[in-house]
Structure 1
Amino acid sequence: MAVQSQRRHLLKALAAGGLLTQLAPLTSWAQLSSQPLYIDGLSFLPDDLADLSGSKLDAYLCDISAIEAIKQPDGTTNYKRTYNACVQSISEALTRVNANPDKLLLGKSGQDIQRAQDSQRTAVFFQIQGADCVEQSINSGLAQVDEFYDRGLRVLQLTHHYGNKFSGGALDNDGTQGLNLPLTPAGQQLIEKLNQKKMLIDVSHSSPQSALETARASKMPIVQSHGAVRAIVNHARCSPDEVIKAIGDTGGLFGVFMMTFWLTNDKIPTTEHYIAHLKHVANIGGIDAVAIANDYPLRGHENLLKLENNNAEGVKQYIEWWHSLRARGVLGFDSEPQHVIIPELNNIDRMERIDSALSAAGFSSGDRSKIMGGNWQRVLTEVLG
């Protein structure tokens, strides 16, 4: 990894001196650098844009949505991405991207990944975590999808934690009652619309049944941009093997995220726990279905960084929410969370550290290339064009 970092710094110096531009007709940036392609399944626009180059990401799915906290009848809180909130947030995100063309590139097609790598920028593919932003009735032709597309949206998650008019939610999956809500008729129509618009469908936070039905309904690959494996941690927010396989069978992928209370029940989370989820996804969905996700800011979980990655202190912010789901009997919330992050991966260098860990775990260079970014590039190119 040190050699790769030195190569990056050398190429930046060449670019600053104009030499890279002179060489451009002969070779691409990617060919000259031989740098790995790094793509992340979910993060956010950073406050400090220096984090873009620091992360070494060529592209990532960028959640630009804004939320409204809505109290549920059972006392829990759902965070809905409403139309008004998301129209404002996507406009603000687009303004920021356009104001920094030397650092950011709005991802609209798969080709933008190579464009970003060649120009030493980061491509951001706008994503909204929940289709609650599509508030109009089906009779409108789902025109709000067209509006968000025109504003730059390319990835839409069907729901977030709890069900909506389109999809059942992961946390509707009550371990006591066996509740597992399906995709709704409105959800079927939304999938048709997203396929027609060439937008990527994300089943993160969907119930298993909704995810399976989405895989059957979609004519294009679907993804779970960020999640974990239920065979390792038996929790409603983790996906059973049949969902992982169904996603892989569409030609899509499954991104494993950094939230450690869904990665291991052991007291101390390690990189090996993270690699175990990647291995499991590869075994069930195939190597072409494995990807990396974050679900925290590029730099890492901000509160844990302030606490110097002290998990015992950091997990306290989740306890009240966790206990509210326990009271409902939702699968997996009976165990007490003990941590939030893997300390060595709660770092802006996580991609290189994961790449090194995959190598140490015996993954070939070809498989590592797929996991670290190649699978995302393939899916985004196939779906978005």
Structure 2
Amino acid sequence: MWWFWTLWAVVALTHCSAMDRNKDKALKLMKQTPLIDGHNDLPWQIRKQFNNQLSKVDLNTIQTTHTNIPKIKEGHLAAQFWSAYVPCDTQHKDAVRQTLDQIDIIHRMCDAYPESFMFATSSQDIMEAFIQNKTASLIGVEGGHSIDSSLGILRIMYRLGVRYLTLTHSCNTPWVDNWKVDTGTEAPVHNGLSPFGKQVIKEMNRLGMLIDLAHVSEKVMNQVLDLSKAPVIFSHSSAYSLCQHKRNVPDAVLKRVRDKAGIVMVNFYNDYVTCSQTANLSQVADHFDHIKKVAGHTVIGFGSDYDGVRRVPKGLEDVSKFPDLVAELLRRGWNDTEVRGALGENLLRVLKDVERVRDSLTKDQPDDVPIPYEQVENACRTNYGYFPLDNTGHSASQSPLVLALATLLCWFFGGSSYSCRP
């Protein structure tokens, strides 16, 4: 039997040698091309675990998250869209304030760890951070409820550095339907985008803000692909054909993203990888392969969703594991051009195209037509500007008695003057 064990040893050594070669090549490519990840919820974990008290957490040593600075370095993570996320139950309450808190924590992360993070708002910034061996830190706001149906808030967030808006999270807003309407668990409200939703798309094009279609209904995907002058992104979604979850992207839409020169950044959440509670690195790579087969290698990126999901695949336990996934793509025959595209060149191209569209629209004026009041009216909202004031300074459409009644109802259902907050 000595010959059997000898043969087994030779095969094992050959396999390990091939794995090492792929890993070495992956690391070489990652030193040449920035790895850009489309979605990471570390800011939300800082909110959940420390109530945004950054002074109480050390990002060099924290072990209760998928992400810390040593893991980022080991994973060769060159650029990260940090998610400024707040839950849907803030909608119509304090979503804007809560979102501004999350934007603030991302800025403070960069200020507190300048040797590791560089705040970034452009394709040029990403490359500058890469040269400096720092992680370019961009902001994506996850959920249209965060702008409270205000184009003014959208513009302010852009000025604060927000470079993409996910149009919905897991709830409808007053202007766009979310992915749950495709499951039948939530009723459609707008048949996709409302007229104001179309205003939002046009204003995002004018600003140069990436339109993120993760979390939206399929109808919205197609409407935005029709309407947008710029390429779109899916910041953290996978292939529907491999896992039939409505958060994933159908093949027909993948082809339209290709035609629009956009990008789908593959999510690592087990439930979107295998539609089950378990998954592994190879099954994530299957999504990369499928998207490449259907729409080509130019529309693929990484959208891990680390620190925003409960379960991650075996072999992709945290942000340090990115090189192992790149090595797996190389093992499957991906060439250098394809790998560099997925790492970051595809996203850089999309971002540059969005910036070009912005620059072509510099003569366009900001859209200042507000959403119709009846579409956002509730007891926690005032109506200043929608209706003329009478000679007492009150809205002519709402007497002081009506306003007092609304305040009373808000107090009654919540038990305090803060009942309009969650």
TM score, norm. by length of structure 1: 0.73
Aligned-pair distance for 1:287? 1.1
- Counterpart of 1:58 in structure 2 is 78
Residue type of the partner of 2:146?
C
Match of 1:133 among 146, 158, 162: 146
Post-superposition Cα deviations, 1:181-224, rounded to whole Å, max 9, x if no partner, equal 41121110001111000011101000011011011111001001
Aligned-pair distance for 1:5? 9.2
- Counterpart of 1:95 in structure 2 is 108
Cα separation, partners in 2 of 1:79 and 1:203, compared to 1, 3 Å: farther
Aligned-pair distance for 1:350? 2.1
- Counterpart of 2:215 in structure 1 is 205
Q: Is 1:163 matched with 2:172?
A: yes
Q: Distance in 2 between matches of 1:177 and 1:86?
A: 24
Cα separation, partners in 2 of 1:212 and 1:148, compared to 1, 3 Å: same
Q: Distance in 1 between matches of 2:123 and 2:158?
A: 15
> Is the contact between residue 245 and residue 275 of structure 2 (CA under 8 Å) also seen in structure 1?
no
Cα separation, partners in 2 of 1:280 and 1:175, compared to 1, 3 Å: farther
Unaligned regions of 5+ residues in structure 2, if any? 1-18, 44-58, 61-68, 357-422
Q: Distance in 2 between matches of 1:242 and 1:81?
A: 37
- Counterpart of 2:329 in structure 1 is 358
Q: Is 1:272 matched with 2:268?
A: no
Match of 2:193 among 177, 183, 186: 183
> Is the contact between residue 43 and residue 62 of structure 1 (CA under 8 Å) also seen in structure 2?
yes
> Is the contact between residue 248 and residue 289 of structure 1 (CA under 8 Å) also seen in structure 2?
yes
Please show how residues 24-39 of structure 1 align to structure 2 within 5 Å. 34-39=31-36
Q: Distance in 2 between matches of 1:82 and 1:178?
A: 22
Please show how residues 246-261 of structure 1 align to structure 2 within 5 Å. 246-261=256-271
Counterpart of 1:63 in 2: which secondary structure? strand
Counterpart of 2:265 in 1: which secondary structure? strand
> Is the contact between residue 80 and residue 132 of structure 1 (CA under 8 Å) also seen in structure 2?
no
Q: Distance in 2 between matches of 1:121 and 1:276?
A: 30
Q: Distance in 1 between matches of 2:154 and 2:275?
A: 39
Please show how residues 292-311 of structure 1 align to structure 2 within 5 Å. 292-297=302-307
Residue type of the partner of 2:329?
L
Post-superposition Cα deviations, 1:48-97, rounded to whole Å, max 9, x if no partner, equal 33343233111021102333636xxxxxxx99981111112212321331
Aligned-pair distance for 1:8? 12
Aligned-pair distance for 1:250? 1.4
Q: Distance in 1 between matches of 2:136 and 2:88?
A: 27
Post-superposition Cα deviations, 1:160-200, rounded to whole Å, max 9, x if no partner, equal 12221232111121359996941121110001111000011
Q: Distance in 1 between matches of 2:26 and 2:181?
A: 46
Aligned-pair distance for 1:35? 3.3
- Counterpart of 2:315 in structure 1 is 344
Counterpart of 2:233 in 1: which secondary structure? strand
Q: Distance in 2 between matches of 1:249 and 1:82?
A: 35
> Is the contact between residue 149 and residue 175 of structure 2 (CA under 8 Å) also seen in structure 1?
no
Name which of structure 1's ranges 360-369 and 266-275 shifts more when overlaid on structure 2.
Answer: 266-275
- Counterpart of 1:84 in structure 2 is 97
Larger Rg belongs to: 2
> Is the contact between residue 108 and residue 125 of structure 1 (CA under 8 Å) also seen in structure 2?
yes
Aligned-pair distance for 1:247? 1.9
Residue type of the partner of 2:284?
Y
Counterpart of 2:349 in 1: which secondary structure? helix
Match of 2:131 among 102, 118, 139: 118
Identity %: 24
Counterpart of 1:344 in 2: which secondary structure? coil
Q: Distance in 1 between matches of 2:32 and 2:93?
A: 39
Post-superposition Cα deviations, 1:114-152, rounded to whole Å, max 9, x if no partner, equal 111110100011001111121255xxxx11111111111
- Report the aligned-residue RMSD: 3.1
Name which of structure 1's ranges 159-168 and 354-363 shifts more when overlaid on structure 2.
Answer: 159-168
Cα separation, partners in 2 of 1:111 and 1:357, compared to 1, 3 Å: same
Aligned-pair distance for 1:351? 1.4
Unaligned regions of 5+ residues in structure 1, if any? 10-29, 71-77, 304-339
> Is the contact between residue 211 and residue 243 of structure 1 (CA under 8 Å) also seen in structure 2?
yes
> Is the contact between residue 131 and residue 157 of structure 1 (CA under 8 Å) also seen in structure 2?
yes
Aligned-pair distance for 1:263? 1.3
Q: Distance in 2 between matches of 1:120 and 1:152?
A: 21
Residue type of the partner of 1:246?
R
Residue type of the partner of 1:220?
A
> Is the contact between residue 94 and residue 152 of structure 1 (CA under 8 Å) also seen in structure 2?
no
